[in-house]
Amino acid sequence: MKRIGIFTSGGDAPGMNANVRAGVRYALVKGLEVFGIRHGYQGMIDGEIVPMDGRSVSGIIGRGGTILGTARSKDFLTPEGRRRAFENLQRFGIEGLVACGGNGTFQGGSIFYEEYGIPMIGTPGTIDNDLYGTDFTIGYDTAINTAMRAVDKIRDTAESHDRTFFIEVMGRHAGFIAVDVGVATGAEYVAIPETPTNFEALCAYVEKYDRPKRHIFIISEGDEYGNAMKFAEDFKARFDIDTRVSILGHMQRGGSPTVRDRVLATRLGVAAVQGLLDGEKSMMAGEIDNRIVLTPMRETWEKRSEINRELADLVELLR
């Protein structure tokens, strides 16, 4: 293998730049030519492929976002789009790929490898922490620290005004962010997609305790009962309590990555390139029990990363 391509895809996550930097520089050390593919699979289809050297990634380890850009490509979902992507890779002589992304990235990567046989090693770049085959994903630690700081600040105003806050965090299909942030901030209730929501039990809890009328409730955006607005509307209809909603939104995906995310991204970027050199074909490099492991790419999205139910129970136990 002489030439490889590296790209970021799907939602951006803090640490993607550190991952790109490590992959590029390790590949250069190993004598490979490296090409950056801009805007994920869409850039592969459109031929947005540029050569990279050590200076291309200078000074980016602490930057949020991704210098290569990212996108969700509808064209790549079609056989014609994937054929165009393959032709462009052939035109540049690219023999292997490093892909940093999440579920959608790896679903597309699995199909692409099965159709065209170009080796691809993935690195888990998503704040949701929902990929099978790794304890933590790149960007997760930064996201939960960003959300924690925001909730701490909201608590200050909640206590000052005796207000109840429903705070919505990201997580359409997984409640990892909500659970960790809930425990870390001393929230009284967490709603997550993995467990059924009992709104009546929440109301019973509020009715039971004679306490100042202020509460902090964390709602994962993908909870089956509804989003934070739905919770707040139903809660206000039940109680005469001053209620507010804060939706943290995309601020959780931005910002300079934490030390943990930078180190994880660096280790996995190196592991992905080494995987290609070792002849691996369609795998994801992850970290389990502080060890680098490779998991078949198809398993990373077909299997489910399970939430820590004991940790989720601690929120209600300690409220």
User: CA gyration radius for the chain?
Assistant: 21
Q: How far apart are the first and last CA of the chain?
A: 56
Active site residue 242: no
Strand partners, 287: 292
CA-nearest of 45, 50, 46, 55 to 21 is 55
CA-nearest of 157, 246, 240 to 206 is 240
Question: Torsion-angle region of residue 79: left (phi > 0), alpha (psi -120 to 50) or beta?
Answer: alpha
How remote is the C-alpha of 209 from its chain's centroid? Answer: 37
Catalytic residue among 128, 130, 141, 223: 128
Taking a C-beta distance cutoff of 8 angstroms, is the pair 128, 177 a contact? Answer: yes
Query: In the numeric block, which tokens belong to residue 154?
Result: 């909201």
Amino acid code (one letter) for 107 = Q
CA-nearest of 138, 102, 12, 5 to 66 is 12
Q: How does 219-251 read in b/e, with b if 16+ C-beta sit within 10 Å?
A: bbbbbeebbbeebbeebeeeeeeebbbbbbeee
Task: Report the catalytic residues.
Answer: 128
